[in-house]
A and B are shown apart, each in its own frame.
Chain A
Amino acid sequence: MSSEIEVVQLDHIPSRHVIHLALFQDVGNAEFLHKQLLSRNADFEYAFVDASVIVSRLHLLSAVFKAVTSASNDVLKTPNVHSEIVANLAASNNVRNHAHSVIQMTDAPQIAEAYRRYGVSTATKNLVAVKVAENGSPSTEQIAEHLAKNVEGTQVPATDEKLASTADMSKVFKYYKLNGLNWLDKIKDHSAKQKEVEMLVVGAMALRGL
């Protein structure tokens, strides 16, 4: 069992935040991990994301970027940067509405829905774990060790290829409301289509909470 973990360098993120990323396949203890989040176990302060809803690194890291930016501007909408990452994966619910006609619902039910859709659940097979350390705490070694000890699964590099293979596109299309876009369905080239999907997903996330 390797306890290596990727440290991700993102542009335009204050350097005190260090982002750690790991992908686990065939996770055997999703129920346990889910339970730790529900009980708010402070030792399990991670963004545990169900890999089936992630299309690419750009997709995932966009949620991380937004969460870390919010944390450093002190405008988090959820308890911490990790829950914020999961919540940020949700699409805007008002893409089609005009600026003035939106009746804002309270955030809470939407955030709970985001945890349910994008976060770890008892049914999670493949899991993305993100940990944002601040000012070197906890250390990369500690994070790698803690994850290796507590996540039962095969750790693999979180590459675009791997993430594409663990994605469930029917879920992605449903959650990001991409069904029925005729021009998108007409794109024959697979990688061109993936790129478009990725851009639409990131765009939907960028609008969320605005």
Chain B
Amino acid sequence: MSGDFPLPPILQTPCSSEPVLITQGAEGRLYKTTYLTPNLPCALKYRPPKPWRHPTLDARLTKHRILSEARILSRCRREGIRVPGVYASDEVGGWLMLEWVPGAPVRVRINEALGDRQSGIEEDEGLKDLMRRIGKAIGDMHAVGVVHGDLTTSNMMLSPKPLNEVDGEPEGQKGCLEGEIVIIDLGLASGSLLIEDRAVDLYVLERAFGSTHPRAECIFDQVLEAYNGTFKQAPAVLKKLEDVRMRGRKRSMIG
């Protein structure tokens, strides 16, 4: 199934398998297809032309966004941060071909692990360990000067560890909390070393987490605790986070 949309031109070319529409966001669509050969799955991120925008402006915005995401991803990879690698891009065609990250979104795995439990979540070591790995992943990303801009548990994948070994389920097992955190969707990411920007990044995640997993809010402190140990300015970021909580994501225009 490829959805109700016409396929982007790049996916109308011959391919060994049918592209599959994975998600549709406000700005673009994500397909699963293959890069070069049938055995190399990839994610195709497509930003279709927006008919309501002036064509010249639309082309410039699309180009800019494709470019900036490709650059941020490559930069993260060079620094050893787990993000999808870039295989190819076409800023005119409006697409990016990215490494396919096997596994499931962290959101899904957390919800599976929570089930319908109402208690005992605070003592769940598996979940708490996952929280700490999330904190570490974000800290490592911030340490190299990248802020994500839209951190949620949907924008992180839990990827089963032995990426090369083919034994077991390639997408990982239901409810399994083991694996590597891979941060995805860096479409709103930017380069920044500012304490403020990093604190806002954490704040956005904190808020998103609270509404997506209200029952697990009690263990969110594990994220911050692990973050605290990842780089030199982390304690200052956490201090700033307290200010951001008081005033919200946007800085006051008064004064």
Is A184 part of the binding interface, using a Cβ–Cβ cutoff of 8 Å?
A: yes
Is A14 part of the binding interface, using a Cβ–Cβ cutoff of 8 Å?
A: yes
Interface centre among A12, A73, A96, A191, by most B CB within 10 Å? Answer: A12
Is A200 part of the binding interface, using a Cβ–Cβ cutoff of 8 Å?
A: yes
**B34, B64, B92: which contacts A11 (Cβ < 8 A)?**
B34
Is B1 part of the binding interface, using a Cβ–Cβ cutoff of 8 Å?
A: no
**A10, A69, A195, A203: which contacts B164 (Cβ < 8 A)?**
A195
**Residue contact A15 to B75, C-beta cutoff 8 Å:** no
User: Which residues of the partner chain A approach B225 to less than 8 Å between Cβ atoms?
Assistant: none
- By beta carbon, the residue of chain B nearest A205 is B88
**Residue contact B73 to A203, C-beta cutoff 8 Å:** yes
**Residue contact B38 to A11, C-beta cutoff 8 Å:** yes
Binary per-residue interface labels of chain A (68-83) against chain B in the complex, 1 for a CB within 8 Å, 0 otherwise = 0100010100000000
Interface residue tally for chain A (C-beta within 8 Å): 35
User: Which residues of the partner chain A approach B34 to less than 8 Å between Cβ atoms?
Assistant: 11
Tell me the complex Cα distance, A149–B60, Å.
Answer: 49
Given contacts A11-B34, A95-B75, A99-B68, whether A192 and B164 have CB atoms under 8 Å apart is yes
State how many angstroms separate the Cβ of B83 from the closest Cβ of chain A. 10
**Residue contact A95 to B71, C-beta cutoff 8 Å:** yes
User: Which residues of the partner chain B approach A96 to less than 8 Å between Cβ atoms?
Assistant: 75
- By beta carbon, the residue of chain A nearest B13 is A12
Binary per-residue interface labels of chain A (167-210) against chain B in the complex, 1 for a CB within 8 Å, 0 otherwise = 00000000000000111100000011001000110111011001
State how many angstroms separate the Cβ of B79 from the closest Cβ of chain A. 8
Which stretch of A27-35, A41-49, A57-65, A118-126 is in the interface? A57-65
Is B10 part of the binding interface, using a Cβ–Cβ cutoff of 8 Å?
A: yes
State how many angstroms separate the Cβ of A73 from the closest Cβ of chain B. 7
**Residue contact A15 to B85, C-beta cutoff 8 Å:** no
**A10, A183, A207: which contacts B70 (Cβ < 8 A)?**
A207
- By beta carbon, the residue of chain A nearest B96 is A206
State how many angstroms separate the Cβ of A22 from the closest Cβ of chain B. 18
User: Which residues of the partner chain B approach A15 to less than 8 Å between Cβ atoms?
Assistant: 14
- By beta carbon, the residue of chain B nearest A61 is B36
Tell me the complex Cα distance, A125–B71, Å.
Answer: 35
User: Which residues of the partner chain A approach B191 to less than 8 Å between Cβ atoms?
Assistant: 98
**A66, A75, A182, A192: which contacts B88 (Cβ < 8 A)?**
A66
**Residue contact A99 to B36, C-beta cutoff 8 Å:** no
State how many angstroms separate the Cβ of A191 from the closest Cβ of chain B. 7
Is B11 part of the binding interface, using a Cβ–Cβ cutoff of 8 Å?
A: yes
**Residue contact B11 to A12, C-beta cutoff 8 Å:** yes
Is B21 part of the binding interface, using a Cβ–Cβ cutoff of 8 Å?
A: no
Binary per-residue interface labels of chain B (17-42) against chain A in the complex, 1 for a CB within 8 Å, 0 otherwise = 00000000000000001111110100
**Residue contact A99 to B71, C-beta cutoff 8 Å:** yes
Is A7 part of the binding interface, using a Cβ–Cβ cutoff of 8 Å?
A: no
Is B99 part of the binding interface, using a Cβ–Cβ cutoff of 8 Å?
A: yes
User: Which residues of the partner chain A approach B86 to less than 8 Å between Cβ atoms?
Assistant: 202-203, 206-207
Is B77 part of the binding interface, using a Cβ–Cβ cutoff of 8 Å?
A: yes
Tell me the complex Cα distance, A199–B82, Å.
Answer: 12
**Residue contact B15 to A203, C-beta cutoff 8 Å:** no
- By beta carbon, the residue of chain A nearest B70 is A207
User: Which residues of the partner chain A approach B35 to less than 8 Å between Cβ atoms?
Assistant: 11-12
Is A13 part of the binding interface, using a Cβ–Cβ cutoff of 8 Å?
A: yes
Is B89 part of the binding interface, using a Cβ–Cβ cutoff of 8 Å?
A: yes
**A95, A98, A182: which contacts B74 (Cβ < 8 A)?**
A95
Is B93 part of the binding interface, using a Cβ–Cβ cutoff of 8 Å?
A: yes
User: Which residues of the partner chain B approach A92 to less than 8 Å between Cβ atoms?
Assistant: 74
Tell me the complex Cα distance, A207–B67, Å.
Answer: 8
Binary per-residue interface labels of chain B (133-155) against chain A in the complex, 1 for a CB within 8 Å, 0 otherwise = 00000000000000000000000
**A10, A181, A202: which contacts B78 (Cβ < 8 A)?**
A181
> Beyond the given A12-B15, A73-B92, A95-B75, could you list 4 further A-B residue pairs with CB under 8 A, ordered by the A residue number?
A11-B16, A58-B36, A73-B93, A99-B64
CB pairs A–B below 8 angstroms (12 shown): A11-B13, A11-B16, A11-B37, A13-B14, A62-B88, A73-B92, A95-B71, A181-B79, A200-B85, A202-B86, A203-B77, A203-B78
Q: Enumerate chain A interface residues (CB-CB to B < 8 A).
A: 9-15, 58, 61-62, 65-66, 69, 73, 75, 92, 95-96, 98-99, 181-184, 191-192, 195, 199-200, 202-204, 206-207, 210
